[in-house]
Amino acid sequence: MHNFHDAQELTEALRPENPVLLKRPHAARRAARYFIRQFPGKSLYAVKANPAPELLQLLFDEGVTHFDVASIDEVRLVARVLPEAVQCFMHPIKSEAVIREAYHQHGVRVFALDSLEELEKIRRATDEASDLTLCVRIKVPSEFAQISLAAKFGIEADDSVELLQCTRQTADALGICFHVGSQTMTPLAYVHALERVRTAIVNASVTVDIVDVGGGFPSIYPDMVPTSLNHYFHAIDRTFEDLPISYSAELWCEPGRALAAEYNSLVVKVEQRRDNELYINDGAYGTLFDAAHIGWRFPVRMLGENAIAAADTEFGFYGPTCDDMDHMPGPFVLPGTVAAGDYIEIGMLGAYGAAMRTKFNGFGSLDEYEVADEPMASAYVGDNLDLADRQNVVSFPTG
């Protein structure tokens, strides 16, 4: 694969007709090192955010040795790419066949659950194994998250006594896990959730070996600039240390977005302009799923001769399919001179970007190249960042 310094160099050299996914391994490595060094516990990568095999490998190489998987295909993928990795099957509702394959064929020993029915399935599928780590998922609010994950999974802390006690009798190690929602904008979300963990432990009077605070750690997007990740880590650590748990209990987390977001950006070509709507060659059924379906704004910049023009005009994007819903409202701020044939780079698409792609309507072709420049935003750089040298990187302090 030919590598380029940045998107500008790539478009000048190739004039691509397909959308181009740009990969920044250095950005993902930096994110992994940050979590390994700064989070006061064990970090599991949430594979669903971006299952690219090369990303899984580089995260593993940087010390992320545990992976949050949620389907048997993710289990098979990680087993194939990283046979030495520890897999944690954190989806709380699974079929017996899937549990059986994960346990007997792929060595999975960590499973999540949120019901007695699931506990019985795990017992049967593993032949009542004695080497299980079982994490009971409790329900917590998502009030501080941009995307709520409060409705689908989890048992209420006040209702968890029987489940925790029965799981304790089965498990070699008992954990409690939760998810505060995606792109959580304040550390208080984790503090409040951990107080629910406290309630569950006290009510059930069980010894807990693992507390898993899940994902939700934010990245930087337009109008979404959270405080330093270290503030999240400190708040979690203080609350965790005050819980009524075993002195040797482990603290886990499951970052997905926070580890993957800076890994990818996307180069798209403008096929046509109609007033303030740009028709581009990727969209809602491709890498821009979140931009369409939940109105997520991503950072953008012009490439080519118009790159130096002032970004002063708001645009929406239409994707290439025939569906009216293939629309990304933005607004995306670009130079007012943008026209058909121009190229645009859309940043921060390493999480829930390429992972969401489909072949709907015959579209979906994608080229991939590695680039050496910095991502358009970063949670892992310091205050002394030279913005001019780093291609308009937006950052917040990491101290």
Chain segment 211-267, per-residue pLDDT in tens: 999 999 999 999 899 999 999 999 999 999 999 987 889 999 999 999 999 999 999
- Burial classification of residue 192, based on how many CB atoms lie within 10 Å of its CB (0-12 exposed, 13-18 middle, 19 or more buried): middle
Judge if 187 and 288 occupy the same domain. Answer: no
Number of residues in the chain: 399
pLDDT tens-digit readout, 183-207: 989 999 999 999 999 999 999 999 9
pLDDT on residue 303: 94
Which of 234, 259, 284 is the endpoint of a domain?
A: 259
User: What is the span of the domain harbouring residue 323?
Assistant: 7-22+262-370
**Within-domain flag for 182:** yes
First to last CA, the chain: 37
Structure confidence at residue 142 (pLDDT): 83
Could you read off the pLDDT of 11-60 as tens digits, one per residue? 999 999 999 999 999 999 999 999 999 999 999 999 999 999 999 999 99
Task: Say if CB 259 and CB 67 are below 8 A apart.
Answer: no
Q: How much is the pTM?
A: 0.92
Question: Is a pLDDT exceeding 60 seen at residue 392?
Answer: no
56: in domain: yes
Residues 255, 335 within the same domain? no
User: pLDDT at position 143, please?
Assistant: 84
Q: Are 287 and 19 in contact (CB under 8 A)?
A: yes
Q: What angle do CA 291, 293, 295 make, to 5 degrees?
A: 45
What pLDDT, on a 0 to 100 scale, did the predictor assign at position 28?
Answer: 97
**DSSP E strands, 140-263:** 145-147, 173-177, 182-184, 210-212, 250-253
pLDDT digits (tens, 9 = 90+) for 145-161: 787 777 888 899 999 99
Active-site positions? 322
333 strand-pairing partners: 314
Per residue in 345-357, pLDDT (tens digit) is 999 999 999 999 9
Specify the CATH number for the domain of residue 302: 2.40.37.10
